[in-house]
């Protein structure tokens, strides 16, 4: 069987595939692969752009282990099986008076896949989904089932962002929040105005994000025109804030009011791939100005925007937000086009800002940079070796960084 990711830029043929029906079967499959000396990886929903699923040995499809299995409104917790899609959380949580604390641009990822790479939304008062993980149940290389909780903070912080390297996740416990409704305020604002009011925009809103559109053609992506002003002097700004029960639902595009999970998700066609780096928030305006200049200079024909978001700090060893809030900087291109030179120049520019990477999006991280940028990377590697001494959960993409 040939496996291909959602956008089609990663393809490989594993030696074998299996679809375990329950955790016991995962234990049997991992144990027999270990006896044969075969590598094991898990496929989530395939929404990563990097070769994080790639596997020469046994590829597991966890789709049979799907669903929210418990909610605890008093403790604000939700427990889910690994292949639970983000949108599978919506109704069961809402019925219990709960909601995910934050979420990203799409909701079709499996929760274990999203957590494995540090998937995030926007807003400095909120962590990524990984930062909300309070328990991880894992089948390790020895076939042991480990329940990792808050009583083992080191292991928990390693397991919060693990890119599938510690074992097969069979259950996750997330800290959630009381159900909330959002009002969106979406529209064009000038680049200069946004940069001038950057601190205020970040601090004053639950969610602040923006797309900067490098050409007039970019407007077609969002059905926007500059109303007489050049689009490249403007930003498409998205602000979401919580509203109380007194504010009625509203369907007006750009000013909707609704349950949180109806406001967050966007729809994307699989016609792009993306690089995403994270810079410490206090250097955001400087990094954004440098990126805009680079894009105007290096890739004048690209119509893809610069996407900008923020994420609050957490303690996961491989998190891009480890110990610091960050600004998130993403650039995209069309699959099949050669824009590697441009991506390398983005990498070089943001390396000067000590940027960390998104594990699911294109990047050029080396082991040297990993160790310099992620202060707990060596601890992650030590724990990984302890749990998986033969490296059966590594692949060709991860081995140079984490062996
Ligand atoms: C259109 C689009 C929009 C996106 N928007 C955002 C966004 O807003 N914010 C953001 O941060 N990211 C975003 N991403 C990136 C995406 O959230 C991540 O790449 C995420 O990891 C994808 O989840 P997945 O279920 O598809 O996992 P996959 O890509 O299939 O797998 C990711 C990793 O998880 C591992 N894994 C999966 N399940 C298990 C398991 N049970 N046990 C152990 N390891 C496992 C896999 O082996 C792999 O290493 C977007 C991607 C796309 C294509």
pLDDT in tens, 20-32: 999 999 999 999 9
Contact criterion met (CB below 8 Å) for 206 and 241: yes
What are the start-end ranges of the H helices in 179-252?
Answer: 191-196, 198-204
pLDDT attached to residue 386:
98
Q: Which residues line ligand 1 (CB under 6 A)?
A: 6-7, 41-48, 52-53, 62, 82, 104-106, 109-110, 112-114, 116-117, 119-120, 163-164, 168-169, 268, 358, 360
Q: How far is ligand 1, taken at its centre, from the CA of residue 42, in Å?
A: 11
Q: For residue range 354-385, list pLDDT tens digits in order.
A: 999 999 999 999 999 999 999 999 999 999 99
Q: How far is ligand 1, taken at its centre, from the CA of residue 37, in Å?
A: 27
Q: How far is ligand 1, taken at its centre, from the CA of residue 373, in Å?
A: 22
Task: Tell which residue, 207, 216, 267, 263, has the closest CA to residue 237.
Answer: 207
From the alpha carbon of 49, which atom of ligand 1 is closest? 19
| Cα distances (angstroms) measured from residue 2 to each of 47, 50, 362 | 16, 16, 21
Q: Please provide residue 334's backbone torsions phi and psi, each rounded to the nearest 5 degrees.
A: -80, 130
Ligand 1, pocket-test mutation among 10, 56, 113, 146, most atoms within 8 A of CB: 113
pLDDT attached to residue 391:
98
- Burial class from Cβ neighbours inside 10 Å (0-12, 13-18, 19+) for residue 379 reads middle
Tell the residue nearest (CA) to atom 41 of ligand 1: 169
Least confident of 124-133, 221-230, 281-290, 387-396: 221-230
Region 188-198: what's the mean pLDDT?
95
**Residue 1: alpha-carbon gap to chain centroid:** 27
Question: Is a pLDDT exceeding 80 seen at residue 344?
Answer: yes
Q: How far is ligand 1, taken at its centre, from the CA of residue 251, in Å?
A: 30
DSSP state of 206: S
Strand locations in 159-233, DSSP E? Answer: 168-175, 177-178, 181-190, 207-212
pLDDT attached to residue 137:
98
Tell the residue nearest (CA) to atom 40 of ligand 1: 169
From the alpha carbon of 360, which atom of ligand 1 is closest? 19
Region 228-235: what's the mean pLDDT?
86
Q: For residue range 261-284, list pLDDT tens digits in order.
A: 999 998 888 888 899 999 999 999
Question: Is a pLDDT exceeding 80 seen at residue 249?
Answer: yes
| Cα distances (angstroms) measured from residue 313 to each of 122, 156, 161, 278, 319 | 12, 16, 13, 12, 9
Q: For residue range 94-138, list pLDDT tens digits in order.
A: 999 999 999 999 999 999 999 999 999 999 999 999 999 999 999
% pLDDT > 70, the chain: 99
Question: Is a pLDDT exceeding 70 seen at residue 301?
Answer: no
| Cα dihedral 331, 358, 283, 230 in deg (nearest 10) | 20
CA dist 352 and 372 (Å) reads 13
Region 163-192: what's the mean pLDDT?
97
| Cα distances (angstroms) measured from residue 285 to each of 212, 297, 321 | 13, 18, 18
From the alpha carbon of 62, which atom of ligand 1 is closest? 41
Q: How far is ligand 1, taken at its centre, from the CA of residue 195, in Å?
A: 31
Question: Is a pLDDT exceeding 90 seen at residue 157?
Answer: yes
Domains of the chain: 68-178 (3.30.465.10), 181-358 (3.30.70.2520)
**Token digits of residue 258:** 């609704």
pLDDT attached to residue 222:
66
Question: Is a pLDDT exceeding 80 seen at residue 33?
Answer: yes
């Amino acid at each position: 069987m040939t496996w291909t990711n959602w956008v089609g830029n990663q393809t490989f043929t594993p030696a074998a595939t299996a679809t375990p029906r329950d955790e016991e079967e995962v234990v049997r499959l991992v144990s027999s692969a270990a006896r044969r000396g075969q590598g094991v990886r898990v496929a989530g929903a395939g929404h990563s752009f990097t070769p994080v699923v790639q596997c020469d040995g046994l590829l597991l499809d966890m789709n049979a282990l799907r669903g929210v299995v418990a909610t605890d409104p008093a403790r604000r917790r939700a427990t889910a099986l690994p292949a639970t899609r983000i949108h599978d959380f919506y109704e069961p949580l809402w019925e219990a008076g709960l909601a995910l604390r934050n979420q990203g641009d799409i909701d079709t990822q499996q929760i274990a896949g999203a957590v494995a790479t540090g998937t995030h939304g926007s807003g400095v008062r909120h962590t990524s989904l990984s930062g909300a993980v309070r328990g991880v149940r894992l089948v390790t290389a020895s076939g042991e089932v480990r329940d990792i909780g808050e009583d083992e903070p080191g292991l928990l912080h390693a397991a919060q962002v693990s890119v599938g390297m510690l074992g097969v996740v069979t259950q996750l416990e997330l800290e959630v929040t009381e159900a909330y409704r959002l009002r969106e305020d979406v529209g064009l604002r000038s680049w200069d105005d946004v940069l001038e009011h950057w601190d205020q925009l970040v601090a004053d809103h639950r969610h602040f994000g923006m797309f900067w559109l490098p050409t007039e053609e970019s407007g077609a992506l969002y059905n926007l025109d500059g109303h007489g002003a050049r689009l490249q002097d403007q930003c498409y700004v998205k602000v979401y804030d919580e509203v109380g029960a007194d504010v009625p639902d509203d369907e007006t595009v750009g000013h909707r009011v609704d349950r949180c999970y109806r406001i967050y998700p966007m729809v994307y066609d699989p016609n792009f791939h993306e690089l995403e780096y994270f810079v410490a928030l206090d250097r955001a305006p400087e990094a954004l100005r440098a990126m805009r200049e680079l894009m105007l200079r290096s890739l004048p024909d690209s119509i893809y925007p610069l996407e900008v978001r923020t994420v609050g700090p957490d303690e996961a060893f491989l998190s891009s937000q480890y110990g610091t809030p960050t600004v998130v900087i993403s650039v995209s291109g069309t699959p099949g086009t050669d824009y590697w030179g441009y991506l390398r120049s983005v990498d070089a520019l943001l390396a000067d800002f000590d940027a960390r990477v998104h594990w699911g999006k294109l990047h050029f991280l080396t082991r040297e940079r990993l160790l310099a940028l992620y202060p707990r990377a060596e601890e992650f590697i030590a724990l990984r070796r302890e749990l998986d001494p033969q490296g059966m959960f590594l692949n060709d993409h991860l081995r140079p960084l984490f062996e």
